[in-house]
Structure 1
């Protein structure tokens, strides 16, 4: 009897504890994928959405209303009637409780690869219906992630007045058509594989972070009014026709970029190295630069143009050039170039090759106040990550000195860099 009472008491305490939670993350997406839900007509999708709606309603209704909800994230499939149930449950919670951060992640039953134009129009129409069925829930959202839709009108931003973060994956406004973006509260905008002709950022007074992956056409972005934009992330698998971005023009209307992330995803380098006198107005306040997927085996000294852009000496001669191939041809503006602000250099994909060693040495010579160099091995793709180590070494061989047994190689690299000790260099295995 004592054991039974003890178990009952434990359950009661756990139930009381669940009513005091302040963070909720509810999702049906992973369950559906495990059951291989693929077609719009599969009634299992409706059952998953129904179950999620019931759980969402009961959990949010039973909780202690004196404790604010710090984060509420709900992920569900785009279907009208179940969406309405979920939206109403969230709207009731917003009306009776304080919700600091609320997010909808809305996914479609068809993946983008199987969608035709009619599907994209249908999903956008269905989303617009859901938006109209329960505008109160969407009006209280701070974050929204949508997939696989073709929009005719910007109803999202008109309804979601609290929205701070918007992510659009495989969405467009019609192939090659322009997307106009205006919102007084939006802080973060992420676009993944958008087929917009251009995304025009008209009036975004609070936008700080912008990410665009795999744009389809020549001019991905137009910056009209983004006074607080400081973090820019661009990723693109370049092809021969991909236009080189000239940052002096591309970012001419952006007051202050402090963080720049460029992911090239292929052999094509789609950024044009420019003279520092041209780049200083747009990259002069840069603090963090991250360049990912640079082509292996090619000269990477051209990336120094980013450091040089922060130096505004107008006497630097114009000696830059470029090539559309992976191996960008570039000459430094001056051989005695010095940079006083860079304190840390991090390289992912380091290999003990002359190309990398010469590059690190060059940065060390230029960055007179450098305090730390972190060298990481190349990242292994998801298909190879779980392979047996012996097989992995054959599939994706790496000469990175990972273990203490390879201390001699680490010491040799240190000597090649002209250093007496490894105090500055860290091999991050």
Structure 2
């Protein structure tokens, strides 16, 4: 390891407490234990190719930066629920790093100063910052980007054209956790528009229900090479964090500066959580009208979550009353399951669009294998969702 001749070596820290259940004292204890171990095995860490750390608080503010200096061979680095006693600006400079994941961490700022081989980046949740605490410096190969936040009323909307300046992202995922839309639709100038020229795949995950979806058309206008568009509309109580600071208005308004624009590359449009409500039907018509070469539209019903499934299963085992206890089961669904309802919805969509796209109405258990991972669902979770719907019928 010290001679850097090991082709692949992975080190993963898994603490006894999972998720965000750790207390500060526990995080400090785990962090101290890891620092002690790494100091004893300093030379061995030089040969690591993958490193994942969770639930660690470091007393030495420079230790996180030292990891990048010590682990010269890293291809992947992942942080979950990590921080330092004094919030720091983490400057990332690394010659080999190709994948970086920072989830639910507390750094004052993360600056990707010089990461020439970085191709994949996940930066999830900046709950304590009004502005996105991430800066993209020299990342010429960055192609896949995942951003997600449960935005509050004090969070500033992100102007993607400024944030993605001088990048060539081809695969972009934006998550909203059923909360406020934190993306700022823009009227792009030619100088700004080139930022989106390479974008091929877009995932918009957990958009709050009930709000106008016109703002998503911003991406079609901004990204002329977009081929696949995924959207998940979901207002699931298990996901929503009740907080007085959350804005009641989670939506965002945007009026297209271009009337009747046409998009020539979009081939697939996948909408999860579709309901036969006017704002959703209108939005599908809007996409059908704009995307002149659209081939397939996949409309899925609402997905549930494993938490709801567990609650229902436990309640059924104990003969408990479930209604009202598990909100995920009792949410009203207006998905057109019958052929008659589907024909009725289809009549409302293609009228006046001239689209030849084929519209597929599918239950969640019928989700195509390539669609689930795009919105963050494994096929196992999809099967759980189908089981939940069956259990719900028995309540």
Shorter chain as normaliser: what TM range?
0.7 to 0.9
Q: Which digits, 9 at most, give the CA deviation of each residue in 1:321-374, with x for residues without a partner?
A: xx9932322111222111111111111111111111110110111111101111
Matched, 1:310 2:245: no
Q: Is the 8 A contact 1:301 1:359 kept in 2?
A: yes
| Structure 1 position 175, deviation (Å) | 4.9
Aligned to 2:341: 409
2:334 to 376, 399, 419: 399
Cα distance change on mapping 1:427 and 1:281 into 2, 3 Å = same
| Structure 1 position 145, deviation (Å) | 1.0
* Match runs of 1:106-255 below 5 Å: 106-111=13-18, 112-116=20-24, 118-151=25-58, 152-153=61-62, 154-215=65-126, 216-217=128-129, 218-252=131-165, 254-255=166-167
Provide the C-alpha distance between the structure 1 equivalents of 2:79 and 2:34, rounded to a whole number of angstroms: 13
Q: Which digits, 9 at most, give the CA deviation of each residue in 1:240-298, with x for residues without a partner?
A: 1111111122222x320111111111331111100132641221211111101111111
Matched, 1:428 2:340: no
Provide the C-alpha distance between the structure 1 equivalents of 2:113 and 2:356, rounded to a whole number of angstroms: 50
| Structure 1 position 234, deviation (Å) | 0.7
1:280 to 176, 193, 197: 193
Cα distance change on mapping 1:220 and 1:170 into 2, 3 Å = same
Q: Is the 8 A contact 2:121 2:144 kept in 1?
A: yes
| Structure 1 position 107, deviation (Å) | 2.0
Structure 2, unaligned runs of 5 or more:
226-246, 317-321, 364-395
Q: Is the 8 A contact 1:139 1:162 kept in 2?
A: yes
Matched, 1:368 2:292: yes
Provide the C-alpha distance between the structure 2 equivalents of 1:227 and 1:122, rounded to a whole number of angstroms: 38
Structure 1, unaligned runs of 5 or more:
1-90, 313-322
Cα distance change on mapping 1:422 and 1:368 into 2, 3 Å = closer
Give the secondary structure class of the aligned counterpart of 2:297. Answer: strand
When the two chains are superposed, the root-mean-square deviation of aligned CA atoms in Å is 2.9
Matched, 1:418 2:350: yes
Give the secondary structure class of the aligned counterpart of 1:107. Answer: coil
Provide the C-alpha distance between the structure 1 equivalents of 2:345 and 2:10, rounded to a whole number of angstroms: 48
Provide the C-alpha distance between the structure 2 equivalents of 1:195 and 1:360, rounded to a whole number of angstroms: 39
Aligned to 2:205: 292
Provide the C-alpha distance between the structure 1 equivalents of 2:200 and 2:86, rounded to a whole number of angstroms: 36
Q: Is the 8 A contact 2:119 2:143 kept in 1?
A: yes
- Name which of structure 1's ranges 340-349 and 151-160 shifts more when overlaid on structure 2: 151-160
Q: Is the 8 A contact 2:174 2:203 kept in 1?
A: yes
Matched, 1:268 2:180: yes
Give the secondary structure class of the aligned counterpart of 1:308. Answer: helix
Aligned to 2:269: 345
Q: Is the 8 A contact 1:270 1:324 kept in 2?
A: no
Provide the C-alpha distance between the structure 2 equivalents of 1:359 and 1:220, rounded to a whole number of angstroms: 32
Cα distance change on mapping 1:167 and 1:414 into 2, 3 Å = same
Aligned length: 321
Provide the C-alpha distance between the structure 2 equivalents of 1:310 and 1:172, rounded to a whole number of angstroms: 36
| Structure 1 position 169, deviation (Å) | 0.6
> TM-score, with normalisation over the residues of structure 2?
0.74
> TM-score, with normalisation over the residues of structure 1?
0.68
1:383 to 307, 313, 327: 307
Greater share of residues in helix: 1
Q: Is the 8 A contact 2:178 2:209 kept in 1?
A: no
Give the secondary structure class of the aligned counterpart of 2:11. Answer: strand
Q: Which entry has the higher C-alpha Rg, 1 or 2?
A: 1
